[in-house]
Chains A and B, each alone.
Chain A
Amino acid sequence: MGQAIAFYTLAAFILGFAVLVVTAKDTVHSVLFLVLDFLFVAALYVLLSAPFLAVIQVLVYAGGIVVLYLFVVMLVNLKRPPEAHQDSHRRTKLGFALAAGVLIELVAIASYDYLGPAATVVPAAVSPVSGNTEQVGWMLYTSYLIPFEIASMLLLVAMIGAIVLAKREL
Chain B
Amino acid sequence: MITPTHYMLLSAALFMIGVVGVMVRRNIIIIFMSIELILNAVNINLVAFSNQLHDVIGQVFAIFVIAVAAAEAAVGLGIILAFYRNKETVNIDEMNVMRW
Interface residues of A (CB under 8 A from B): 3-4, 7, 11, 14-15, 18-19, 21-22, 27, 30-31, 34, 37-38, 41, 44-45, 48-50, 52-53, 56-57, 60-61, 64-65, 68-69, 71-73, 75-76, 78, 81-83, 85, 87, 89-90, 92, 94-96, 98-100, 102-103, 106-107, 109-111, 113-114, 121-125, 127, 132, 135-136, 139-140, 143-144, 147, 151, 154-155, 157-159, 161-166, 168
Contacts and interface: CB of A to CB of B under 8 A. Distances in A.
Given A53-B63, A136-B56, A139-B57, A162 B51 contact: no
Nearest to A164: B78
Nearest to A159: B74
- Could you tell me the dominant secondary structure of chain A's interface residues? helix
- Could you tell me the dominant secondary structure of chain B's interface residues? helix
A107 B9 contact: yes
Given A27-B30, A73-B29, A151 B68 contact: yes
B60 to A, nearest CB: 5
Contact of B91 (A82, A136, A157): A82
Contacts of B81: 72, 75-76, 165-166
B9 to A, nearest CB: 5
B23 interface: yes
- The contact size tier of chain B is 35 or more
B29 A27 contact: yes
B71 A158 contact: yes
B32 A69 contact: yes
A69 B29 contact: yes
Contact of A18 (B9, B14, B29, B78): B14
Contacts of B59: 50, 52-53, 132, 136
